[in-house]
Amino acid sequence: MAVPTITGTTISSITETTAIGCGNITASGGTIACRGIDYWKDGQNTFCSGTGFNGDVCAIAIQSDTKVIVGGVYTSYSGVSAGQIIRLNSTGSIDSSFDVGAGFNGDDVFTIAIQSDNKIVVGGYFTTFDTGSSINRIVRLNSNGSIDTGFTTVGFDNDVTALLLQSDNKIVVGGGFSTYDTGTTANYIARLCSNGTFDTGFTASFDSSIYALAPQGNKILVGGGFTTYDTGTTANYIARLCSNGTFDTGFTTGTGFDGSVCAIAIQNDGKILAAGCFTAFDGGAFCNIARLCSNGCVDNTFVVDAFINGGIQTISVQADCKIVIGGRFNGYGNILRLNSNGSIDDSWFIEDFTGFNSCVNTTAIETNNKILAGGHFTSYTYIDANHYTELNSDGTIYRIALSSTTGDTGIFITDLTGLTSNTLYHAQAFAANGDGNGYGNIVSFTTLAGGVIEVLTSTGYRFYLRTDIGDADAIEAQLQAIAIAVDNQTNANY
């Protein structure tokens, strides 16, 4: 067996016949709710979401400072109470400066939009906020999480599922509602002034719910479950409106789609990606996604060579024009990346790829081209990922989370898989309970050259980490001494 070189917290010369250290978890600040290991290649920032969320994530919005607002149908994040909305740092840790109190008291958050002044517009099915403030399906928060009292509204009578911020600070709202404030008619779409009052100059209405809004110059693209605009204009699941809300007759989609449009994204060249639950557009066969030219006609140069056997909920376009789609299509693990011409990006399919085990509701692209994903899922390619995770730009994820433990001690043992040769890695233990997250010191190790190191679950080579969990007030974790263990050995000297 090869013995690694250990200098402080750095371990080098690891081969496929080497296993590393072991230890115990102890907690003095309460029982441990979760534990695991984050690991990443050198140069890639660490991301840790602990146990993640205990319910669906429906909306992700990235601030200009890289912090992330996450909304959904959950009540906790990594064991910490969170009332359907939370702000996270780019590392996945909780931003404690964002204080929403009790949040939305169990009601759903479906959509989030961040204004240029960092105020946060939130839409959903909620009717109260924090300790009981009456807030009907829409609210604007200050950057610290408090209610913006300058946004005065009684709200909508049903759910808000889409938001669009205009450059003039007006807010276009779509959803399943029919009235606004104390009885103003607003059939599934409305525009609000910056102070929350109803914009009477916006005259648009549809016959059913709106799920997606996107800007195209000074015009507005609308997608949803509707088939009619206003009192009789045919608009099968997609339409474009002029700035005053009138129907844009220059957007010619023929017979349109034959099913709901749930997501719309605009490419840099002005072409329109539309996705949802449909099988046809203007008489041609399309499997839940199509690309349209700016005038509404189909772009036949976009050919998707994948059979997506379920609905698409979200589209995000990367800076390199590649397209990330998420939804409920098990054949591709509920997430897929396409090249700009619609073909499958084969580089996405890493070894043993299974993708997410359930629906992806929302995605967002970070400035470093990493991908945030939220949804109904609880794992990604066999790795625990409870409703929210970050993927590297190549589709990989570095995270191993162990099962929960009900005691305050436990052996912390797991396997690292798929390590690459001649590569510097960093690893960090984490643990959490109701008091918060605890993280270990970062430990580094370098694999040797000679091809991909076969560090797979079936081989039994293990990476053992020792961590101690903090004091009575908050959890802290510190990675302790690392010792050597041979293959399949369950104890080591430390």
pLDDT for residue 32: 45
Span(s) in the chain for CATH 2.130.10.10: 56-395
Query: Above 70 in pLDDT, residue 461?
Result: no
Query: Above 60 in pLDDT, residue 315?
Result: yes
CATH assignment, 56-395: 2.130.10.10
- Res. 411 pLDDT band, cuts 50 70 90: very low
Q: What is the distance between the alpha carbons of residues 204 and 79, in angstroms, rounded to a whole number? A: 44
Return the CATH class of domain 5-42+403-485. mainly beta
The top-scoring range by mean pLDDT among 112-116, 377-381, 397-401 is 112-116
pLDDT for residue 383: 73
| pLDDT tens for each residue of 130-189 | 987 889 999 999 999 999 999 999 999 999 999 999 999 999 999 999 999 988 999 999
pLDDT for residue 39: 64
Lowest average pLDDT, out of 162-166, 371-375, 411-415, 466-470, goes to 466-470
Query: Above 60 in pLDDT, residue 344?
Result: yes
Query: Above 60 in pLDDT, residue 309?
Result: yes
Query: Above 70 in pLDDT, residue 445?
Result: no
Calculate mean pLDDT across residues 334-343. 95
- Res. 263 pLDDT band, cuts 50 70 90: very high
The reported pTM is 0.78
Please state, rounded to an integer, the average pLDDT across all residues of the chain.
Answer: 79
Query: Above 60 in pLDDT, residue 431?
Result: no
- Res. 485 pLDDT band, cuts 50 70 90: very low
pLDDT for residue 107: 86
- Res. 429 pLDDT band, cuts 50 70 90: low
50 within 8 A of 428, measured Cβ to Cβ: no
27 within 8 A of 385, measured Cβ to Cβ: no
pLDDT for residue 476: 28
pLDDT for residue 472: 27
pLDDT for residue 285: 95
The top-scoring range by mean pLDDT among 304-313, 358-367, 375-384, 445-454 is 358-367
Calculate mean pLDDT across residues 259-275. 97
Lowest average pLDDT, out of 100-104, 288-292, 397-401, 411-415, goes to 411-415
Query: Above 70 in pLDDT, residue 422?
Result: no
Query: Above 60 in pLDDT, residue 430?
Result: no
Q: What is the 3-state secondary structure (H, E, C) of the chain?
A: CCCCEEECCEEEEECCCCEECCCEEEECCCCCCEEEEEEEECCCCCCCCCCCECCEEEEEEECCCCCEEEEEECCEECCEECCCEEEECCCCCECCCCCCCCCCCCCCEEEEEECCCCCEEEEECCCEECCCEECECEEEECCCCCECCCCCCCEECCCEEEEEECCCCCEEEEECCCEECCCEECCCEEEECCCCCECCCCCCCECCCEEEEEEECCEEEEEECCCEECCCEECCCEEEECCCCCECCCCCCCCCECCCEEEEEECCCCCEEEEECCCEECCEECCCEEEECCCCCECCCCCCCCCCCCCEEEEEECCCCCEEEEECCHHHCCEEEECCCCCECHHHCCCCCCCECCCEEEEEECCCCCEEEEECCCEECCEECCCEEEECCCCCCCCEEECCCCCCEEECEECCCCCCCCCEEEEEEEEEECCEEEECCCEEEEECCCCCCCCCHHHCCCEECCEEECCCCCCCEEECCCCEECCCCCCCCC
The top-scoring range by mean pLDDT among 379-388, 395-404, 477-486 is 379-388
Could you give the percent of the chain with pLDDT greater than 70?
Answer: 70
| pLDDT tens for each residue of 215-235 | 999 999 999 999 999 989 999
Query: Above 90 in pLDDT, residue 394?
Result: no
Lowest average pLDDT, out of 77-81, 229-233, 359-363, 452-456, goes to 452-456
Query: Above 60 in pLDDT, residue 236?
Result: yes
- Res. 354 pLDDT band, cuts 50 70 90: confident
Calculate mean pLDDT across residues 48-72. 94
Span(s) in the chain for CATH 2.60.40: 5-42+403-485
pLDDT for residue 182: 83
Calculate mean pLDDT across residues 378-387. 84
